[in-house]
Amino acid sequence: MPLEGTCEGQMACSTCHVILGEKWFAKLPEASEEEEDMLDLAAGVQRFSRLSCQIELTEELDGIEVHVPAESRDAQRY
């Protein structure tokens, strides 16, 4: 998956920004204010955007599908 995740889950960046389908988005707890602040800095934010580092994978989320925004750029590949 072409996600950089520079801050390693510390919510100090938005390089792990993903877009979920409405069904999956509805299964997640609300984003924290810190996460919302980081999403404000992300490129290509949409209604169902989240930081993937803040999604706790549970059995209920088995099979989750996320999309990487077109504006995303994985600096590790360059």
**Domain boundaries, given as residue ranges, for the chain:** 17-77
Tell me the chain's radius of gyration from C-alpha atoms: 12
The CATH architecture assigned to 17-77 reads: Roll (3.10)
pLDDT digits (tens, 9 = 90+) for 5-62: 778 778 888 889 999 999 999 999 999 999 999 999 998 999 999 999 999 999 999 9
Q: What is the pTM of this model?
A: 0.82
- pLDDT for residue 4 is more than 70: no
Q: How far apart, in Å, are the Cα atoms of 9 and each of 2, 16, 54, 69, 76?
A: 16, 9, 7, 18, 17
pLDDT-based confidence at 2, cuts 50/70/90? low
